[in-house]
Every structure is written in structure tokens, then in C-alpha cells.
């Protein structure tokens, strides 16, 4: 019974894996941006590397290994990746309402990440947890800026 439980996949390692895939994907997009003369390519590459890649990797590393099944962890993962897909798609097809929808999912995912962190007593006071919370706040603050830019430009 215990063995079966511990073998269930947790969201943290999946976030780490998806984050690594996104960094590679971002690098590939960056490589093709110049040759294809793709105007939004450098933005898409930076977004993939920083937001979908690095931030998701850190979220995965910081996901508390609590009880399983970790439904809120999966909801966080889904919100971050679906939200990012909508933000990238909405930007590439110049449809700000998709960016708005994606942003709502991203905010929900950030809230879940913050709540999980606040409920992890073993990390209280550790400097890493403050750096992590600062990262979540920077991401949260970037979202309205992205929404405004998207509406102004389209």
C-alpha cells in the first residue's frame, strides 16, 4: 500500500521536467527568430525560457512533498502551462482576450504556489523561501504589464 502510494507521480518533478523542456524549446525558438525574421520570436523565446522554463523549474523544486495525491499541485501545473500557452498563442495571433484568459490562469497558479509555500512550516525563515516568494511577486507584477502591452499593441 505504502509502496504503491510513494510510486504515484508528484507534480513537482513534472514541473521540473516541463521547465527544462521549455528552456530547450526557448533556445530553439531564439535560434530560428533571426533566420525567419520573426518579429515576436525573441519575445516568445524569452517567455519560454524565463516564465515557462526557469520559473516553472523553481516552482517544481519548491513544491512541498506533501500528501498525495497533490491536487492543488496539479492545478498549479495546469494553470501555469495552459495559461502560458494562451498568453503565447494570444500574443502570436494578436488576440488580447486570449492573453487576458491566460493571465487569469497564471494568477490562479501563482496563488496556489504561494499558498503551498506558506503552508510548508519546515521552510519558515529559510532565505530560499523569501527568494522564492520574491520571484512569485515579480511574476505577479509582470502580468498586468503584459496585459496592458498586449491591449496597446493589438
Binding of ligand HEM by 150 (CB under 6 A): yes
Neighbours of 13 (CB within 10 A): 13
Binding of ligand HEM by 41 (CB under 6 A): no
Binding of ligand HEM by 139 (CB under 6 A): yes
Angle at 81 (CA atoms; ends 92, 75), nearest 5 degrees: 145
Binding of ligand HEM by 146 (CB under 6 A): yes
Query: What are the distances in angstroms from CA 122 to CA 97, 116, 129?
Result: 40, 12, 10
From candidates 23, 25, 43, 135, binder to ligand HEM by CB under 6 A: 43
Nearest to 113 by CA among 96, 90, 137, 95: 137
Nearest to 139 by CA among 86, 73, 80, 89: 80
Binding of ligand HEM by 15 (CB under 6 A): no
Nearest-approach distance from CB 34 to ligand HEM, in angstroms: 14
Nearest-approach distance from CB 130 to ligand HEM, in angstroms: 18
Size of the site for ligand HEM (CB under 6 A): 16
State which of positions 79-118 bind ligand HEM (CB under 6 A).
87, 91, 99, 103, 106
Give the span between the Cα atoms of 119 and 134, in whole angstroms: 17
Binding site for ligand HEM (CB under 6 A): 43, 50-51, 87, 91, 99, 103, 106, 138-139, 142-143, 146, 149-150, 153
Amino acid at each position: 500500500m505504502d509502496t504503491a502510494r510513494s510510486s504515484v507521480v508528484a507534480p513537482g518533478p513534472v514541473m521540473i521536467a516541463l521547465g527544462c523542456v521549455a528552456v530547450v524549446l526557448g533556445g530553439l525558438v531564439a535560434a530560428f527568430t533571426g533566420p525567419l525574421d520573426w518579429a515576436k520570436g525573441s519575445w516568445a523565446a524569452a517567455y519560454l525560457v524565463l516564465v515557462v522554463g526557469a520559473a516553472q523549474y523553481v516552482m517544481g523544486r519548491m513544491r512541498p512533498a506533501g500528501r498525495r495525491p497533490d491536487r492543488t499541485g496539479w492545478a498549479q501545473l495546469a494553470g501555469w502551462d495552459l495559461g502560458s500557452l494562451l498568453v503565447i498563442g494570444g500574443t502570436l495571433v494578436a488576440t488580447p482576450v486570449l492573453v487576458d484568459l491566460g493571465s487569469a490562469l497564471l494568477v490562479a497558479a501563482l496563488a496556489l504556489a504561494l499558498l503551498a509555500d506558506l503552508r510548508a512550516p519546515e521552510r519558515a525563515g529559510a532565505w530560499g523561501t523569501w527568494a522564492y516568494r520574491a520571484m512569485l511577486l515579480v511574476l505577479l507584477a509582470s502580468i498586468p504589464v503584459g496585459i496592458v502591452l498586449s491591449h496597446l499593441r493589438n
